Amino acid sequence: NYVSEWNVETKRNNKGALILTVKGKNDEQHRLLTAHVDTLGAMVKEIKPDGRLRLSMIGGFRWNSVEGEYCEIETSSGKKYTGTILMHQTSVHVYKDAGEAKRDEKNIEVRIDERVFSADAVRELGIEVGDFVSIDPRVQITESGYIKSRHLDDKVSVAILLKLIKRLQDEKVTLPYTTHFLISNNEEIGYGGNSNIPEETVEYLAVDMGALGDGQASDEYTVSICAKDSSGPYHYALRKHLVELAKANAIEYKVDIYPYYGSDASAAIRAGFDVKHALIGAGIDSSHAFERTHESSIAHTEALVYAYVLSE
């Protein structure tokens, strides 16, 4: 409903992703920006004899990062049940190895908030193998400007792109190039932005996140510009253009390399598309776990995206 009020062309592809198009002066050479709305989660792998659920991971995270977290199971009929993701050996009063047992799909399980003690009782609720399990994001926004939540990767960037489109509409801005905005929904499993790219597309900018940790330049207060990830280097000239835009507009930025990372843009390159690709995003601490960023990083990312779509 939010997007339908705008004067932009919209469509959904067969995978359910949303594509929005803003016409520009140059309709022969296009740009495409993407952010992904999908996130990490799980699927019911097995209904155990004691009524608990064994999980299969969706996306790349570590089981220890969701241990103790609330979750929601959605059945094929749409009914939802709450639960908690726990180690089987949780109680220190019962299990001597509660602290040492391996956090893996054999030991991690869901305790459903229903009176069930058998697999048959769970199935009577309508829960079956293949049902999706979502993880409570636990969103908090602090007075000091921090946003704490799971799934900031990549909900932050989706919000940035939607806000950008609305700004372009409100300010009646005419872009130099026809620009597509792809809200992809399969990035975390590797192929979100690798299709439905118009053949006129010359530049492809993934708006995702900067990863923080030892040896990284990225932080929670600037926009991250990726030079290279596990797929290889991003397009050098386009990366330089983004850096020049940041300098010209007093946008605080960091250039960084992410050793265990892939994006919608790298998925498009792997699929064989002939585009110049780049990756930027807000700096996200503890990615794919208890994530956090700061409003200043989001603001600098917004500013760089805006400067980019207006640039010649």
- Residues acting as catalytic residues: 187
Q: Is 69 one of the annotated binding-site residues?
A: no
Q: Is 120 one of the annotated binding-site residues?
A: no
Q: Is 214 one of the annotated binding-site residues?
A: no
Phi-psi map region of 15: left, alpha, beta (phi>0 left; psi -120 to 50 alpha): alpha
Q: Is 104 one of the annotated binding-site residues?
A: no
Tokens matching residue 123: 């199935």
3-state secondary structure the chain: CCHHHCCCEEEECCCCCEEEEECEEEEEEEEEEEEECCCCEEEEEEECCCCCEEEEEECCCCHHHCCCCEEEEECCCCCEEEEEEEECCCCCCCCCCCCCCCCCCCCEEEEECCCCCCHHHHHHCCCCCCCEEEECCCCEECCCCEEECCCHHHHHHHHHHHHHHHHHHHCCCCEEEEEEEEEECCHHHCCCCCCCCCCCEEEEEEEEEEECCCCCCCCCCCEEEEEEECCEECCHHHHHHHHHHHHHCCCCEEEEECCCCCCHHHHHHHCCCCCEEEEEEEEEECCCCCCEEEHHHHHHHHHHHHHHHHCC
Q: Which residues are annotated as a binding site?
A: 36, 153, 188, 208
Q: Which residues are annotated as a binding site for Zn(2+)?
A: 36, 153, 188, 208
